[in-house]
Chain A
Amino acid sequence: MTSWSEGRTVRIWIICRRELQAAFGSVVAYVLFAVFLLLSGYFFYSDLIFMLLMASFTPVIGLWQWVFLDMRLVVLLILPLITMRLFAEEKKLGTIELLWTYPVRDVEIIAGKFLAAVAFFLLMLLPTAIPFALLYAYQPFDVAPLLVAYLGLVLLGVAFISCGLFISSMTENQVVSAMVTYGILVFFWFMTWNEEAANQATLRILLGLSLFDRFFNFTRGVIDTRDVVFFALFTAFFLFLTWQSLASRRWRGVP
C-alpha cells in the first residue's frame, strides 16, 4: 500500500508538468509562441522607429510605455487560447472524473493547472527581453522602469490566466471557453473607454476595476501598491470561482 500523504506539493508539480507536456506535445503551443514573439517583436521595432522619428519624446521611458501598451494586446490575444483547454479538454474527454478519484485536493488540481499556464506565459515572455538587451548594448539605460513594466505585464497576464482558468472550468467547449474569456477581459479592459457615458460616481468605481488603467501605471515605471493588490485580488477572486466551479459537481453531478 502506498501512502497518500506524501508529497502534497509534489502532486501540484505532477499536474503542472503534465499540462506543460500536453501543451508542448501539440503544435498549438508552438504556433502561439511564434505568433506572440512575431507580434511583440514587430511592435518593438515599429515603436522604436516611431520614437526615433519623434525625438521630442524621452526615448527610453516613452518607448517602454508604447511597447508595453502594445504587448498587452498580444497577451490579451494569446492567453485565452492557452487557458481555454485547461479544464474544458478534461471535461470533454472525461479525464476530469478520474482526477477526482485520485487522492488529490481540488485546490491542488487548480494550483497545478494555474502554475502550468503561468509558467507557459513566463516562458513566452522571456525572449521578448532580447530586443531590450540589444538596445541596452547600444545605449545603456536605467533598467528599473523596464522591470516595473515587466512586473505589470506579468501581473496582468496572471490575472488573465485566472479568469481563463475559471471560464474553462465552466464548459467542455474550448471555443466557448476562449470566447467568453475574451468577452470578460475586454470588458474589464475597456469599461472606462467612454468616460462620458458614465456619471462621476460610477466612473470612479469603473476606473478602480479597469485592468487598462491599472496597467498603465506600471508602463510608466510606477509601482502603486494598490495596483498590485488589485491584480492579486482579481486573480484570487477568479481562482476562488474556479474552486467553486469544481465543487459544483456535488450538487450538479458529473456530465
Chain B
Amino acid sequence: MISVAGVSKRFGSFTAISDISFEVATGEIVGLLGPNGAGKSTTMRILAGVFPPSSGSARVAGHDVVADSLRARAAVGYFPERVSAYQEMTVQSYLHYVGRMKGVRRAGLSVQADAAMRACGVDTVARRIIGSLSKGFRQRVGIAQALIGNPEVLILDEPTAGLDPEQVAEMRDLIRSLKQDRTVVLSTHILTEVEQTCDRVIILHRGRIVAVDTPANLNRRVQRAGRIYVEVTAPVVEAREWLARVGGVVSVSDAPGSRDGNAVLTILTERDRDVREDIARAIAERGWGLRELRSVAFSLEEIFLTLVQGDDDELERGTHGANLDHLSA
C-alpha cells in the first residue's frame, strides 16, 4: 500500500531525511518513532503530498507521489502535527467543505460527514463553531477531516500530542477502531503509544531509519539491561565497590549529587533480572542507611542510543538479529 524507496529530503544545506526505505502492507498500522527532529514529519509530509522528495521515490496506493500526485493525494487522509481548521466554520460545514475539496459527490457528502463525525465522536458538536471547541475536540475534527473521502491510507502526525491522559486513551481507541480496512501510518515520540497501537515500528534517528520491527521484538532488543537508582549514606568508593559484587550487577557508576557520606549511584543490571532486594540486603549487611532505591526506565533518547550503538556492535560482530530488518547502518 505504501512503498518508500531511497527517499531523501534536503532543505537548503539541511538534510531532514536521508535514504529512507520501507514498505507498509495493506491493513497494517505502522508507527514512526523518533525524537523531535528525527524526520518523522518530513517523511509523512512527503507521503501526504505536501512536498516532493529531493531524491528517491514514494508510492501510495500504487500512485507515485510526484508523477501522479493528485491521485496519490486522493488516496490519503492526513492529520498534520499542527492540526488546524478554519476557525469560523461549524464542524459540519467544514467537513462538507473538505469533502468537496476531496471530490466527494454532493449526494454522498452528508452521509460521509455524518459517518466521520460519529466515528470521531464529534457528532454532538456538529453545529458548533470550530474556534469555540476544546483542544481534544479540535483534534478529533482533524481526524474526521482525514477520514472524509474514504481514503485507503491514513497518515497521522502525532495524533495524541497535547492531549490530557484521558483524551490520549480515547484517541488511541479511536485510531485502533479506524484500522479495520485502512492502512495507517502514525508518528509519535512516546514509546508506550506505539506498543499499544502499532503492528510494526519504524525507528527514525537523525533522518535515518535505525530499526524496523514489531513493538515486542523492539522492547526485547532495547531491554538489554535493567537500571536501578540508589541513594545510600556511605562513602562513595566503598559503596560502589561493595554493590558491584552483588550477583546480577553489571556496573555501578556515580550519579549527579553524589558526595562522600551520601552515595548516589546508578546500577546497571543483567537483563530480566530484578536485583533490587539483593542490593537492599547488601546495603543492610554493611549497616548503611538506605535512603532511596528504585528502578529507572530508559528514556526514548537512551533507547535510540542503545539502538544506534547496538547496530554498531552487531555489525562488528557480524551477528544481525534474525528478526530485525536493518535498513541502515
Contacts and interface: CB of A to CB of B under 8 A. Distances in A.
- Tell me whether A and B are bound partners: yes
Contacts of A25: 88
Interface stretch (B98-106, B170-178, B207-215, B301-309): B98-106
Given A1-B150, A251-B12, A253-B11, A101 B48 contact: yes
B257 to A, nearest CB: 41
Contacts, number: 99
B11 A100 contact: no
B101 A102 contact: yes
Contacts of A3: 74, 103
A7 interface: yes
Interface in B16-57: 16, 42, 45, 48-52
B49 to A, nearest CB: 5
Contact of A250 (B52, B85, B105): B52
B82 interface: yes
Contact of A22 (B74, B84, B88): B88
A244 B145 CA distance: 28
Interface stretch (A53-61, A75-83, A90-98, A140-148): A90-98
A1 B149 CA distance: 7
Contacts of B226: none
B201 to A, nearest CB: 24
Contact of B11 (A95, A104, A252): A252
Interface string B212-228: 00000000000000000
A10 B187 CA distance: 34
A4 B97 contact: no
Interface in B148-191: 149-150, 152
A105 B101 CA distance: 11
B62 to A, nearest CB: 12
A2 B80 CA distance: 22
B71 interface: yes
Nearest to A1: B150
A10 B78 CA distance: 22
Interface of B: 11-12, 16, 42, 45, 48-52, 70-71, 73-76, 78, 80, 82-89, 97-98, 100-105, 108, 145, 149-150, 152
A14 interface: yes
Contacts of B78: 98, 101
A44 B226 CA distance: 85
Nearest to B79: A98
A226 interface: no
A250 B16 CA distance: 12
Contact of B97 (A5, A14, A103, A251): A14
A9 to B, nearest CB: 13
A98 B103 contact: no
Nearest to B10: A251
B51 A103 contact: no
Nearest to B70: A103
Interface string A216-255: 0000000000000000000000000000000001111110
A249 B51 contact: yes
Contacts of A250: 51-52
B39 to A, nearest CB: 12
A15 B102 CA distance: 12
B150 A93 contact: no
A101 B73 contact: yes
B85 A1 contact: no
B48 A4 contact: no
Contact of B16 (A6, A249, A253): A253
B145 A98 contact: yes
Contact of B71 (A4, A21, A102, A105): A4
A15 to B, nearest CB: 8
